[in-house]
Structure 1
Amino acid sequence: MSEPTTDGRRLKGERRKKELIDATVRVVARDGVAGVSHRVVARQAGQPATAAAYYFKNIDDLLTAALTDCMAQDAARMRALAAGTDGGPVGLRALAELMAAVVVHPDHLLAEFELYLLAARRPELREATDDWLAAIDEFGRRYTDDPVRLRILAGVMDGLLMQALLTDDPPSVDAFEDVLRQVLL
């Protein structure tokens, strides 16, 4: 039996929505949150000028979707790392490698921090950032139950990644790993 045509349209709609969210992240990375408009995002996604307004009633909805998507991706990566470590040095190395990879191509990270700051101003957006922080906590709990060290881990990770955006010579895997060892071992 063939699938109803509505399923195909729904899938196409979801794909177009995802393309718009990804385009929003690219626009935020390039121009900041202030550079986001329905027209600019639609153009960046290669879609008709009205597409973004069709799927997202206002810019806040579009930014919320982009923030949620970014943080969900990062939280999923952190949870995968947590699941793959027993609290030993291999897990710290894997996290350091992930951090180093993120800063080499900083567009996504730059957009995330822009969106992160937006969540600081708009409490209704904090669910996504809370999920990211919970994922860091899950990783850290493989190493310690000390709530202070877990809070330090989250602050250190965000701080190191932010600082990496401010330099032409981002930290190496070894440099990230050295700091993570100090925090967790």
Structure 2
Amino acid sequence: MATRTTGTSRADLITDAALALLAERGMRGLTHRAVDERAGLPQGSTSNYARTRQSLLEATVRRLAEREVRVLAPGELPVPGAGQAPGPRTGRGRDTQNGPHTGPEALIAGLALALHRYLTRHPELLVCRYELALEATRRPELREFFDATGRQFREPLTALMTAAGSAEPERHALSLVAWCEGLMFSCAAGSYHQSVPTEEELRTGFAELLRGMLGSDGALR
């Protein structure tokens, strides 16, 4: 049974209970009554908050996105060159004067840290993500909502690729997302669930991927 913590709203309590049920029992286990029981709330509380199954699913997707933002901590992913005066540029427009805390190395380190934290500390959120994504393929109204929440992750990543000097930031962002998604599925539900890469291995993987996208010159050499 879920317990209320100081500062936790009833909405968060309900949607956190819904996520816990998704991770443990799958989509069939997500019912209004089960959420009430899991959250330790009076019967009917979840129905008062989200009367239909669609509204409960939308609230759960929204809460998942909020928790993913905290796990991935976009603030840890620096924009290359941010906070510096413009310097000489080479290749596809990359700044050759980026310092160690603002250049591609920092971007690689930030991506690896965020992904490793997700894989090792919050695997249950990945299971919820896949449960909801599959349900969205059967519910067009949920698909639209699910895709809208996903844009809050894609758009900043596209901006990061632009700042890193990508000539095709949207395509490169898609490739980066696809690589991360494949790795996350393999580690959460696939054949690598018992051998999650180390943070160092993830840094190597991100460096190889970005080198192929951005070129091997400059800071990615």
Mapped partners of 1:21, 1:169: distance in 2: 30
Partner of 2:3: none
Aligned pairs for 1:112-127 within 5 A = 112-121=129-138, 122=140, 123-125=143-145, 126-127=147-148
- Which stretch of the first structure deviates more once superposed, 16-25 or 127-136? 127-136
Partner of 2:156: 135
Consecutive unaligned residues of structure 2, counting only runs of 5 or more, are 1-6, 81-101, 212-221
Q: Deviations over 1:94-134 (max 9, x none)?
A: 22122111111311121122222333443332211232322
Output the amino acid matched with 1:131: Q
Consecutive unaligned residues of structure 1, counting only runs of 5 or more, are 1-11
Q: Deviations over 1:51-101 (max 9, x none)?
A: 101100112111111112222443464532334653421221122122111
Partner of 2:94: none
Shift of 1:143: 2.3
Output the amino acid matched with 1:150: A
Aligned pairs for 1:151-170 within 5 A = 151-165=174-188, 166=190, 167-170=193-196
Shift of 1:36: 0.4
Output the amino acid matched with 2:127: L
**CA distance 1:135–1:65, shift in 2 (3 Å):** farther
Output the amino acid matched with 1:180: F
Aligned pairs for 1:30-109 within 5 A = 30-75=24-69, 77=72, 79-83=74-78, 86-105=102-121, 106-109=123-126
* Identical residues among aligned pairs (%): 18
Mapped partners of 1:41, 1:132: distance in 2: 28
- Indicate if the aligned counterparts of 2:50 and 2:56 stay in contact, CA closer than 8 A: yes
Shift of 1:183: 1.9
Aligned residue for 2:195, secondary structure, equals coil
- Which stretch of the first structure deviates more once superposed, 19-28 or 145-154? 145-154
**CA distance 1:56–1:124, shift in 2 (3 Å):** same
TM-score, normalization by structure 2: 0.70
Mapped partners of 2:158, 2:181: distance in 1: 13
Number of residue pairs aligned between Structure 1 and Structure 2? 173
Shift of 1:49: 1.9
**CA distance 1:21–1:74, shift in 2 (3 Å):** same
- Indicate if the aligned counterparts of 1:137 and 1:154 stay in contact, CA closer than 8 A: no
**CA distance 1:144–1:44, shift in 2 (3 Å):** farther
Structure whose alpha-carbon radius of gyration is higher: 2
**CA distance 1:27–1:144, shift in 2 (3 Å):** farther
Mapped partners of 2:162, 2:28: distance in 1: 37
TM-score, normalization by structure 1: 0.82
